[in-house]
Structure 1
Amino acid sequence: MKTTITEPKIPNSGALVIGVLKGGVFLSTGKKLDKASNGALSKAIKGSRFMGGNGQFLDVIAPAGIGADRVLMAGLGEAKEVKQGTLENVGGAALQRLSGSGVKSITIACDPVKGAKVDIGLGAASLAYGTHLASYRFDKYRTTLKAKDKPSVTTVTVQVKGAAAARKAFKPLGAVADGVFMTRNLVSEPANTLYPESMAKECQTLRKLGVKVEILNEARMTKLGMGALLGVGQGSRRESQLVIMRWQGAGERTKPLAFVGKGVTFDTGGISLKPGPGMDMMKWDMGGAGAVIGLMKALSGRKAKANVVGVVGLVENMPDGNAQRPGDIVTSMSGQTIEILNTDAEGRLVLADALWYTQDRFKPQFMVNLATLTGAIIISLGHEHAGMFSNNDELCQQLLEAGAEVDEKVWRMPLNDAYDKKLNCAIADMKNIGGRDAGSITAAQFLQRYINKVPWAHLDIAGTAWADDSKPTVPKGATGWGVRLLDRLVNNHYERK
């Protein structure tokens, strides 16, 4: 689908989307259309329950006096409620409503709103961004899909006075969308095509954007003493990988920001085998690594003025004669030993070595790791928030605010010594599980044992990396969760302005 931003001109075909404020108040384009249609739009509102509330829509087919095939009125709510996120959702929801309608083109009128919390240029860019995010589909393996089952919309045009400024505002948003799409693609791929080595090759595609990419194979990780990570993958014929991606957008002396991702490309649970039903979804147990890779694409694509390191540990957790066993003891890169009581608690083992390596080599300003780590976080928070665990209040607040801005929300969870003691072990430095109770917290406590004094946050995204229901800018399936959140974090607080 092609998305463009142009100067205003009422279209002669396709669908035309206009904003309506709470109470059925038309903006400038709506007033012109209502007059041209001899009040048809006003009559449609009076004959419906549409009141211009945020998220409401009213579709008017073939109104007289208007060249467009249909007019879709989109509720904006009160003027003071109109902000960047509101318009992104309007654009995305409008596309979703019209994508199967038969129309090939959509024109969205972006009119000034007095009292809005976003300027007209960024507002138009946000409408375009929302439609672009909503247009994502993963159809590459669907060879018999009929034309009538495919989206009919091929072009979206956002019209606004001052289109050049809006196009400039859209450019970095388009780069972020590219990063989101890369994450969605990676998370959607089946495990027979996406495994540690092929995922590492996907990271190498970022070199064309200026990202430096380094790949450590099993031999190099063995020399570094990464026994925790390597133990997870020893039952797979796929070689484990550690990928380091570096974007240098600030001065050489500026410490980097570090993002670390769990990348279990398929998780059977290992010897502690998962139940068969639902195991197919364990292809997205690399969602944390996917988010880090997409973030690096977004930041490099928009030329972020920050130094950023992305590190992903890529493994496949399989059962075979060489697989790690319950009761094994492994030595992590930090020198700490771990008794493996459950081979299905493997993500924390991957992250233990990846986090230690990252802080030891790069001495970052902070580290944020992402992982589809525990099912327990879904029991706690459902699918609306990711669990956030941290040793730093300032970093937590920054993540909370960024998440609220882009609708990738996080909720802070506790960490303390009482939970940490559950990991104590009689024959090693720690166990890899702490029992059934507080499973997400003890998993985070495990990770914290591999953090020195660097500010750190762990995001458990098990409930947000995949969605069974769509949202305005997020089709069901792989969500790309985390790319927009962390891009906003960097943009708000860590770039040279």
Structure 2
Amino acid sequence: MTSLTPVTFVETDIERFAEQRGRIAILVTPDGRLDIAGRRVNRLSKGAVKRALEAKTEAGIKEGEVFTLAYPAGMAVDAVDVVCLSRNAPAEKVRAAGAALGKNRGKASLLIAAGGARRVAQLVMGAVLRDYQFNAHKTSAEAREGTIEVMCSDPEAAREAAAPRLAVAEGCFMTRDLVNEPANVLTTTEFANRLAEMESLGLKVEVLEEDQLAKLGMRTLLAVGQGSASPSKVVVMQWKGGAKDAAPLALIGKGVVFDTGGISLKPAAGMEDMTMDMGGAGTVAGVMRAIALRKAKANVVGLVGLVENMPSGTAIRPGDVVKSMKGDTVEILNTDAEGRLVLCDVMWYAQDRFAPAGMIDLATLTGAIIIGLGHENAGVFSNDDALCNAFLKAAQAEDEGAWRMPLGKAYDDMLKSPIADMKNIGGRPAGSITAAQFLQRFVKDGTPWVHLDIAGVASLKTDTTLAPKGATGWGVRALDRLIADKFETE
């Protein structure tokens, strides 16, 4: 797994600045005031910091803005990054400023003169998240170099504040690595093996093989993978950090390691992107890693359905009828609407076995959600206002775009089949909504449920504030915060 840039915390020592190498970051307020570290750097650079601030303040310095003084006279550093943050800067601005530092770092070590511990956690998290690189398959890639050192008045308090945020960052890295991996590397077996390795963190991990899935009646999930040489699997990850008798939160992830569309074959153009069709399972894995690393005081179970959707002589066909674990029958009209067939069996199994306090599924489920919401927001569907609003609040706090979409009987009626209990598609109109309606049929009465369609946010062609282009790790931060806010015990 891609490792986080090493982060250390030390007491403020402004005398170090004279001989410091690499990069230094100092903090200033929006009105241009310097703290003790900033004043020392200004003196060493013969007033360069003040002159740059005076030029900037005429135009107005924005909260979270970072500007750079390259090779300042009188100092040994490559650059000084000046970070504009007020004492009460919003967390997303602090993270964004940290991300700018991480992006600027390159191969150089970075010393952040952060003052107090208050903002350190978010600042460091942003720097670490943006410093991510996926070089696993580059033969000429150079080894990652440099460290991040944080100079502050209370290193122990800063370290304690940053530890859970760094745990979440490591969860994000796991999700990004999984989503970025090519399908010939991340087979269903390799995926399961990587999840099993997390037992060393205190998770209980079970891998259910095809014979066990058949006995359980997971025929819709098995139908998706029956055209592939890769065996279908379900991986169950349990974290028991809460009260012994407390029902867990269940996280369900779609793990289609590659999606050709099956017999309903996708167009060739862009099919290479379907290595990310396991993004929901990747996010669940990242959340489970994060809560295990930070020892969350909550009971959470993560379940992922791992399959590969391939065309072959054994593949499922349009027109086939398959019975789900619940017992309902599904007429398959399009084999490229396969994610819901995986999720419905895993969701039913999760409710049967764990009777969860709430259930959240994640899937790169529909292209329709991208048409509706673009790449700015995941689609959020729910039968429970309290759980849905708690998630939306957590997503907003972590600056992860999420937008609630409707459900309703009219959309559900679009799934009626003349020969089975339902069809697996409802036609082109409202495609993401009918997919959610399909899943809702497998939610038991009384189970609070949220469905997250992350097709537009799991992997992007451009950089974002906190990630380079490619896998984003969307959802790990929001779900970790939801668990902390709503499901952890004191």
| TM-score band w.r.t. shorter chain | over 0.9
Structure 1 residue 65: deviation in Å?
4.1
CA distance in 1, matches of 2:319, 2:45: 76
Maintained 8 Å contact 2:66/2:100: no
Given candidates 188, 198, 217, the residue that maps to 2:190 is 198
The equivalent residue for 1:373 is 365
Given candidates 61, 64, 71, the residue that maps to 2:70 is 61
Structure 1 residue 248: deviation in Å?
0.8
Deviates further, 63-72 or 181-190: 63-72
Structure 1 residue 325: deviation in Å?
0.4
Unpaired runs of at least 5, structure 1: 112-119
The equivalent residue for 1:479 is 472
The equivalent residue for 2:128 is 132
Q: 1:134-167 CA distances to partner (integer Å, 9 max, x unpaired)?
A: 221110110124x5xx77x511111110011111
3-state SS of paired residue (1:108): strand
Q: Which amino acid aligns with 1:306?
A: A
The equivalent residue for 1:4 is 8
CA distance in 2, matches of 1:487, 1:122: 20
3-state SS of paired residue (1:434): coil
3-state SS of paired residue (1:176): helix
**Is 2:264 the partner of 1:256?**
no
Maintained 8 Å contact 1:51/1:75: no
Structure 1 residue 38: deviation in Å?
4.0
CA distance in 2, matches of 1:159, 1:52: 24
TM score, norm. by length of structure 2: 0.94
Q: Which amino acid aligns with 1:304?
A: A
Deviates further, 49-58 or 258-267: 49-58
Given candidates 460, 482, 491, the residue that maps to 2:484 is 491
Q: Which amino acid aligns with 2:430?
A: A
**Is 2:88 the partner of 1:74?**
no
Given candidates 88, 112, 117, the residue that maps to 2:95 is 88
Structure 1 residues 390-409: aligned runs within 5 Å? 390-409=382-401
State the percentage of identical aligned residues.
50
Q: 1:226-281 CA distances to partner (integer Å, 9 max, x unpaired)?
A: 11111100100111001111111122211111000000000000000000011011
Structure 1 residue 214: deviation in Å?
1.1
The equivalent residue for 1:343 is 335
Given candidates 386, 404, 416, the residue that maps to 1:412 is 404
Q: Which amino acid aligns with 1:159?
A: M
CA distance in 1, matches of 2:35, 2:158: 19
3-state SS of paired residue (1:464): coil
Q: 1:442-489 CA distances to partner (integer Å, 9 max, x unpaired)?
A: 000000000012000000000111022222321211111111111100
Maintained 8 Å contact 1:387/1:459: yes
Distance 1:410 1:477, change over 3 A: same
3-state SS of paired residue (2:69): strand
Maintained 8 Å contact 2:321/2:332: yes
Maintained 8 Å contact 2:373/2:379: yes
CA distance in 2, matches of 1:15, 1:252: 48
CA distance in 1, matches of 2:300, 2:105: 39
The equivalent residue for 1:30 is 38
Q: 1:164-218 CA distances to partner (integer Å, 9 max, x unpaired)?
A: 1111112222221221111111111110111112111111011111111111111
The equivalent residue for 1:144 is 140
Deviates further, 212-221 or 14-23: 14-23
CA distance in 1, matches of 2:272, 2:153: 49
3-state SS of paired residue (2:207): strand
Structure 1 residue 14: deviation in Å?
2.0
CA distance in 2, matches of 1:299, 1:72: 33
Maintained 8 Å contact 2:66/2:97: no
Runs of 4+ in 1 over 6 A off after TM superposition: none
Structure 1 residue 50: deviation in Å?
6.3
Query: What CA RMSD, in Å, does the superposition of the two structures yield over aligned residues?
Result: 1.6
Unpaired runs of at least 5, structure 2: none
Maintained 8 Å contact 1:50/1:57: no
The equivalent residue for 2:225 is 233
The equivalent residue for 1:115 is none
The equivalent residue for 1:108 is 112
Q: Which amino acid aligns with 2:117?
A: G
Structure 1 residue 66: deviation in Å?
4.2
3-state SS of paired residue (1:110): strand
CA distance in 1, matches of 2:73, 2:11: 24
Q: Which amino acid aligns with 1:63?
A: P
3-state SS of paired residue (1:18): strand
The equivalent residue for 1:117 is none
CA distance in 2, matches of 1:486, 1:387: 15
The equivalent residue for 2:203 is 211
Structure 1 residues 315-464: aligned runs within 5 Å? 315-453=307-445, 454-464=447-457
CA distance in 1, matches of 2:449, 2:333: 26
Deviates further, 421-430 or 126-135: 126-135
CA distance in 1, matches of 2:418, 2:356: 34
Maintained 8 Å contact 2:64/2:94: no
CA distance in 1, matches of 2:427, 2:25: 54
Deviates further, 470-479 or 452-461: 470-479
**Is 2:284 the partner of 1:292?**
yes
Maintained 8 Å contact 1:24/1:51: no
Structure 1 residue 122: deviation in Å?
4.1
Q: Which amino acid aligns with 1:2?
A: P
Structure 1 residue 315: deviation in Å?
0.4
The equivalent residue for 1:97 is 104
3-state SS of paired residue (1:197): helix
TM score, norm. by length of structure 1: 0.93
Q: Which amino acid aligns with 2:466?
A: T
Given candidates 16, 40, 52, the residue that maps to 1:44 is 52
Q: Report the number of matched residues.
A: 480
